[in-house]
Amino acid sequence: MALGEFALIERYFRAAGASRSDVPIGVGDDGAILRPPPGFDLVAVSDTLVEGVHFPQGAAPRSIGHRALAVNLSDIAAMGATPAWALLSLTLPTVDEPWLAEFSAGFGVLACEHEVALVGGDTTRGPLTLGVQVLGFVPQGEGLRRSGGRPGDLLCVSGTPGDAAAGLALLQRASARPAVPSAEVSSSTLSAPLATLQQRFEYPTPRLALGARLRTLASAGIDVSDGLYGDATKLAAASGCAVHIEPQRLPCSAALTAAVAAGVFTAAEAMAFVCAGGDDYELLFTMPPAAIPALQADIDRGDVTIIGALASGAGLWLLEQGVAQPATAAGFDHFG
Ligand code: ADP
Ligand code: MG
């Protein structure tokens, strides 16, 4: 590589994250030496982004850096854990310094925001691929699992799922017709909601503060990476329950509502984004009804919405006018 692997790591990655006192040896040796605090369990997660699969070709490098870390921090949040250390396996087709500077800034800003140190990694040449591992802590025995849900627990979701899938659809439309300025985006009343949706795909917010609070409130948790209905089905299966969802309770953001009102998406497309879009990295969790007061302020702000409940049995059921109809996540997977 033109710049040389050593110089590249020094310039763009040695100081990309937070510095922490529990890292006796970080980037630069054959391995990192890390010092976990006594009384905590270590939580390890790994997620890989491949160009053309997990983000569009030519995506903004700052967004790629942010997402590569954010998707891992979201898994840490879903375990109720606090992140500490990250490793980055970078496969690059060429050494493009402006690209690396932006990528490293996207990764580094989010890492610093959550006090995550970049303690090592690997750098190779090949098709653009970002592999990230994150390690975090949770008080011993308190990690949040998918399997703790019980019949009667309420099903809740953070934020407004569907926005990221809508944002990705907008990005794909823009790259499919690059020369034609989109009437939608150039209209001044609509540009703000569409920019918001795009932002939700490019810069997802890992729900770490909520995840840590859920350790003592929730019975089970999962992050929404593959679509709300699919991930709800996974949580229910792990808990040995059926999951009942009331579609009319699903939250829809002001931005997505505005995009539908303006005809950018049909109502059916918006519903598919909400039910089956991935990439939101919101938290989906169950809790006994007794936990509602502890989350009432979040519910009132719209940061958490009760969308259904676990029941005895198995599978996904949609409650329409009080009647439960069997459903499958695949029926809503318009992107599969
Ligand atoms: P080795 O050949 O012994 O595996 P490398 O030359 O690949 O070592 O890496 C040197 C150091 O740089 C190691 O500490 C490694 O963890 C770190 N490193 C390599 N690539 C990255 C990267 N993309 N981000 C952060 N650290 C990296
Ligand atoms: Mg070595």
Residues 81 and 153 in one domain: no
Query: What are 118-142's pLDDT values in tens digits?
Result: 999 999 999 999 999 999 999 999 9
Q: Could you give the CA distance from residue 336 to residue 331 in angstroms, rounded to a whole number?
A: 10
What is the model's pLDDT at position 330?
72
Residues 281 and 319 in one domain: yes
Q: Is the CB of 4 under 6 A from ligand 1?
A: no
Q: Is the CB of 91 under 6 A from ligand 1?
A: no
Would 223 be classed as within a structural domain? yes
Contact status, residue 311 vs residue 241, Cβ threshold 8 Å: yes
Residues 124 and 46 in one domain: yes
User: How far is ligand 1, taken at its centre, from the CA of residue 122, in Å?
Assistant: 5
Contact status, residue 9 vs residue 27, Cβ threshold 8 Å: yes
User: How far is ligand 1, taken at its centre, from the CA of residue 135, in Å?
Assistant: 17
Residues 222 and 182 in one domain: yes
The pTM of the whole model exceeds 0.85: yes
Which ligand 1 atom is nearest residue 30's CA?
Answer: 3
Query: What are 54-89's pLDDT values in tens digits?
Result: 999 999 999 999 999 999 999 999 999 999 999 999
The whole domain housing 206 covers 146-327
Considering 139, 160, 177, which residue would you say is the last residue of a domain?
A: 139
Query: What are 295-331's pLDDT values in tens digits?
Result: 999 999 999 999 999 999 999 999 988 899 999 887 5
The per-residue b/e assignment along 81-103, b for 16 or more CB within 10 angstroms, e otherwise, is: bbbbbbbbbbbbeebeeebbebb
Considering 113, 139, 165, which residue would you say is the last residue of a domain?
A: 139
Phi–psi pair at 199, nearest 5 degrees: -60, -35
Residues 91 and 158 in one domain: no
Segment among 168-177, 245-254, 280-289 with least mean pLDDT: 168-177
Pocket test for ligand 1, best of 5, 27, 87 (most atoms within 8 A of CB): 27
Sign of CA dihedral 247, 335, 268, 260: positive
What is the model's pLDDT at position 301?
98
Residues 237 and 120 in one domain: no
Helix-strand-coil split of the chain, %, nearest 5: 40, 25, 35
Query: What are 15-26's pLDDT values in tens digits?
Result: 999 999 999 999
Contact status, residue 321 vs residue 249, Cβ threshold 8 Å: no
Q: Could you give the CA distance from residue 222 to residue 139 in angstroms, rounded to a whole number?
A: 18
Contact status, residue 263 vs residue 321, Cβ threshold 8 Å: no
Residues 62 and 202 in one domain: no
Would 119 be classed as within a structural domain? yes
The per-residue b/e assignment along 306-336, b for 16 or more CB within 10 angstroms, e otherwise, is: bbbbbbeeeebbbbeeeeeeebebeebbeee
Would 332 be classed as within a structural domain? no
DSSP state of 38: T
User: How far is ligand 1, taken at its centre, from the CA of residue 125, in Å?
Assistant: 14
User: How far is ligand 2, taken at its centre, from the CA of residue 27, in Å?
Assistant: 11
Considering 139, 167, 182, which residue would you say is the last residue of a domain?
A: 139
Contact status, residue 204 vs residue 281, Cβ threshold 8 Å: yes
Looking at the CA of 89, name the nearest ligand.
1
Would 336 be classed as within a structural domain? no
Q: Is the CB of 13 under 6 A from ligand 1?
A: yes
Amino acid at 93: P
Would 299 be classed as within a structural domain? yes
Query: What are 151-206's pLDDT values in tens digits?
Result: 999 999 999 999 999 999 999 998 876 554 555 555 566 799 999 999 999 999 99
SS3 95: coil
Q: Is the CB of 130 under 6 A from ligand 1?
A: no
User: How far is ligand 1, taken at its centre, from the CA of residue 118, in Å?
Assistant: 11
Task: Read off the CATH number of the domain in which 45 is found.
Answer: 3.30.1330.10
